[in-house]
Amino acid sequence: MLRKLWSICLDEIIGFYLLHRFFYYKKRSLIISDAGKETPGLLSGELLSFFSPVPGPASLEYQPDLEPASQAIFPAAEVKDFQFPSPVQTGFPGNDLVKGRHWKSTVSQPAANSDSRFTVVAIDGIVQLGVRSFNRLAKRLTPYGIDVIMLDSPFNYRRTPPGYRPGQLIAGGNLDH
């Protein structure tokens, strides 16, 4: 029992230390937005106002090279990076451009369903440092004709503003609990 209690306490202390070092990297203060004034509460029950305005379709601009470089040739997929302007402006120009990667399956579709494809949209957690897990997912799904699309979360991976760590600005001091 004492061993388990010690393990839990040690885990909490190390976790607190790591999060503190992570969020206060280079002693920058947390950025607190006024989003609470502009959006209804999560538990308001007014879904129409909470999910408004409904975003329109994005016009993807495919890029000539993969950045950062990664495995571009898969046995059953064509890999391309894309980007499009975010409908939400954050004040960080690098974050205002949504970036992603598309593993498009090259497996031929049955003639009856040639207009439709299955697609998995994958989004990483709070700190994304690469595409290795998405490469593994694409290797498993694209041979079955399933496309994989990875989106970089705001303030994460390739959308991280200069001088910050990936994910440092995702969670701040103004999160409702």
The domain total for the chain is 1
Asked whether residue 121 is domain-assigned, the answer is yes
Asked whether residue 8 is domain-assigned, the answer is no
Note whether 63 and 81 are within 8 A (CB).
yes
Asked whether residue 177 is domain-assigned, the answer is no
Asked whether residue 18 is domain-assigned, the answer is no
Asked whether residue 45 is domain-assigned, the answer is yes
Which residue in this structure is represented by tokens 């290795």?
132
- Residue 148 in tokens: 């994989």
State the Cα torsion 44-47-53-54 to the nearest 10°.
Answer: 150
- Percentage of residues of the chain with pLDDT beyond 90: 14
- Residue 16 in tokens: 């607190």
* Structural domain span for residue 140: 31-159
Asked whether residue 122 is domain-assigned, the answer is yes
Least confident segment among 27-31, 39-43, 77-81, 148-152:
39-43
- Residue 71 in tokens: 């495995």
pLDDT at 176: 39
pTM attached to this predicted model:
0.68
Note whether 142 and 107 are within 8 A (CB).
yes
